């Protein structure tokens, strides 16, 4: 690998100066109240909302892991990246309900729709899940990227990035996060696009690359009996995880809630969906390019997760290499900033404010800042544990999320589509669901010591996609059975919070929040998703 030269360092320095300028400008504008600190004053336009959604989603674990999936015969994982149509579901289906409820957080919505028990469970579980997946994986991947790019040791790179991101997140709150993410999204797109174009030129174009890796390699649809990626469970599980992540997870939804109004929020999600079409070409294809060059003996790397940094450092000219390095740092920092802010929002609004309802606004903001500091410290403590993870990073992330998503997706989906679902059904489903998800993770870790003929071994050894699909069906049946076996919710409890109970006035207001352009662009995005899915068929 080539190290960065002086022109690269100048490029990276310019990026950090601009980033610092934006952060200082935002910190100077902020007000000391919770709406401003956690939701940027609910005054953000569609462009910033969409760019922020995209930048929050694309972390260094995506850049490293998705290229690793492309380089390591994991092309079916691509389905998780073509979920632009699910981002549209956030804007068209879920966001109007969240906006009507006037909530800061997703657990707060569950309390309005069901009761306080569901709110407590989702709040605590979300914070734990963020530390176990998002924070730890992002910091680990970031440490790998930073140490590879800048030629410094893993610990220095990881801690420096965490501390720097933590500082502007603590001081500037959500406003600092969304505006810096807009810059980071632009830099990441330019840098990765340059790498894809130069890489394709280096391998002699798409057809030449296809001949080297063989057309079958570029098939994302494996047979239903494939041990790793059977296509029916792949399609079902990726949709379940997608709805949880894009439509019900605080980390993403908080960006849409910063919008001035429902119209700007929906347009932000449509723009975010448009941007979401790009990772396939910006990150997965470079992984396939790296594999092609390795098969031709022109490139060398040890593990698939190294494909993107190695390709970048060897192919790109001076200056542009620095820009892509800045883009990778941007991806890492934007994801970390998002998860830091989401954790502090969940803790402050859903836990601290519930325990101390009369706390003044200024103290709540201070509590949010302290919560961010604690999350930063926990993230650093987790780094050595993450360093022991083996296998392709992106697949690890998707498998863990497949155990978290089914109960939450079931509760939110049926919660807004079925007015008979009650608080008891939601509570039991969340509790049982989280126990089953935790049990699966434990069984997966200890399955080597279990009897191969036992039920527990089967549960721990089942393909993660098949497990997620059956687990979701189990959660749907459970919430229906418990809800119908207990008393229905009162009419007041479900008013305007399910499709069957929206008032005529609210329906009219929602209809006025979009026009034919919003519908046309959404249809085009769905058509592109279908085209990409058909295109990667190995022929």
Coil/strand/helix, residue 421: coil
* Nearest-angstrom CA–CA distance, 407 and 389: 26
Report pLDDT for 31. Answer: 56
Neighbouring-strand partners of residue 259 = 44
Bridge partners of residue 230, in order along the sequence: 222
Q: Hey, how many other C-beta atoms are within 10 angstroms of the C-beta on 117?
A: 17
Neighbouring-strand partners of residue 504: none
Distance of alpha carbon 280 from alpha carbon 506, whole angstroms:
38
- The angle subtended at Cα 272 by Cα 337 and Cα 245, nearest 5°, is 65
Q: What is the pLDDT of residue 420?
A: 93
Closest CA relative to residue 412, chosen from 345, 499, 508, 335: 499
The separation between the first and the last C-alpha atoms of the chain, rounded to the nearest angstrom, is 34
Spatial CB neighbours of 295, under 8 Å, sequence gap ≥ 6: 212, 213
CA distance 386 to 139: 9
pLDDT in tens, the chain (539 residues): 566 788 888 988 888 888 778 777 877 765 555 666 555 556 678 888 888 888 777 766 677 777 887 888 778 878 888 888 999 999 999 999 998 888 888 988 999 999 989 989 998 888 877 777 777 777 777 777 777 666 777 777 777 777 777 776 676 666 666 777 777 778 878 888 888 999 999 999 888 998 888 888 888 888 888 888 898 999 999 999 999 989 998 878 888 888 888 899 999 999 999 998 888 788 888 889 988 998 898 888 877 877 887 888 888 888 888 887 777 777 777 777 777 777 887 888 788 888 888 888 788 878 888 888 887 787 777 667 655 544 455 566 667 788 889 999 999 999 999 999 999 999 999 999 999 988 988 888 787 788 888 888 888 888 889 999 999 999 999 999 999 999 999 988 888 889 999 988 888 888 888 899 999 999 999 999 999 888 888 77
What is the signed CA dihedral for 362, 364, 367, 371, rounded to 10 degrees?
Answer: -130
195, 286 contact by CB (below 8 A): yes
Residue 205 is classified by DSSP as S
Which strand (E) or helix (H) includes residue 318? Answer: none
Assigned token pair, 314? 């060897």
DSSP state of 343: H
Place of tokens 């979401």: 276
Token representation of residue 439: 């049990």
**With DSSP H G I counted as helix, E B as strand and the rest as coil, what are the percentages for the chain, rounded to 5?**
80, 0, 20
Largest CA distance in the chain: 69
Q: Which string of b and e fits 39-64 if b means at least 16 CB within 10 Å?
A: bbbbebebebbbbbbbbbbbbbbbbb
Cα dihedral 176, 180, 185, 186 in deg (nearest 10): 140
345: left (phi over 0), alpha (psi -120 to 50) or beta: alpha
């Amino acid at each position: 690998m080539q190290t960065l030269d002086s022109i690269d360092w100048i490029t990276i320095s310019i990026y950090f100066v601009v980033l610092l300028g934006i952060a200082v400008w935002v910190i100077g504008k902020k007000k000391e109240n919770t709406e401003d600190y956690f939701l940027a004053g609910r005054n953000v336009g569609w462009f910033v909302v969409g760019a922020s959604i995209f930048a929050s989603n694309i972390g260094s674990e995506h850049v490293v892991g998705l290229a690793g999936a492309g380089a390591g015969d994991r092309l079916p994982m691509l389905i998780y990246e073509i979920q632009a149509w699910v981002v549209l579901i956030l804007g068209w289906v879920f966001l109007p309900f969240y906006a009507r409820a006037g909530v800061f957080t997703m657990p707060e919505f569950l309390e309005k729709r069901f009761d306080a028990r569901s709110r407590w469970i989702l709040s605590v579980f979300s914070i734990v899940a963020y530390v176990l997946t998002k924070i730890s994986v992002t910091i680990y991947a970031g440490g790998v990227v930073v140490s590879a790019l800048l030629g410094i040791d893993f610990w220095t790179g990881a801690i420096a990035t965490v501390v720097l991101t933590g500082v502007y997140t603590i001081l500037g709150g959500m406003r600092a996060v969304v505006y810096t993410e807009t810059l980071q999204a632009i830099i990441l797109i330019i840098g990765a696009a340059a790498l894809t174009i130069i890489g394709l030129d280096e391998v002699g174009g798409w057809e030449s690359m296809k001949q080297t890796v063989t057309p079958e390699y570029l098939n994302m649809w494996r047979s239903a009996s494939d041990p790793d990626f059977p296509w029916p469970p792949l399609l079902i599980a990726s949709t379940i995880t997608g709805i949880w992540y894009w439509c019900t997870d605080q980390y993403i939804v908080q960006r849409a809630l910063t919008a001035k109004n429902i119209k700007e929020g929906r347009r932000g999600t449509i723009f975010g969906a448009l941007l979401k079409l790009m990772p396939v070409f910006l990150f997965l294809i470079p992984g396939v390019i790296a594999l092609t060059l390795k098969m031709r003996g022109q490139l060398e790397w040890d593990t698939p997760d190294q494909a993107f940094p190695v390709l970048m450092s060897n192919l790109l000219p001076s200056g542009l290499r620095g820009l892509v390095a800045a883009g990778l740092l941007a991806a890492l920092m934007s994801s970390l900033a998002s998860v830091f802010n989401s954790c502090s929002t969940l803790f402050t609004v859903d836990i601290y404010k519930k325990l101390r309802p009369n706390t003044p606004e200024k103290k709540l903001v201070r509590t949010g800042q302290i919560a961010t500091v604690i999350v930063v410290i926990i993230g650093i403590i987790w780094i050595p544990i993450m360093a022991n993870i083996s296998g392709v990073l992106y697949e690890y992330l998707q498998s863990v999320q497949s155990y978290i998503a089914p109960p939450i997706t079931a509760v939110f989906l049926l919660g807004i589509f079925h007015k008979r679902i009650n608080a008891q059904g939601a509570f039991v489903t969340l509790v049982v669901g989280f126990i089953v998800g935790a049990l699966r993770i434990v069984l997966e870790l200890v399955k080597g010591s279990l009897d191969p003929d036992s039920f527990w071994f089967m549960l721990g050894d089942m393909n993660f996609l098949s497990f997620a699909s059956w687990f979701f069906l189990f959660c749907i049946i459970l919430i229906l059975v418990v809800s119908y076996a207990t008393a229905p919710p009162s009419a007041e409890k479900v008013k305007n919070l399910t499709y069957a109970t929206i008032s005529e006035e609210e329906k009219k207001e929602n209809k006025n929040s979009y026009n034919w352009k919003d519908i046309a662009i959404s249809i085009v995005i769905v058509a592109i998703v279908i085209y990409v899915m058909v295109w990667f068929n190995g022929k």
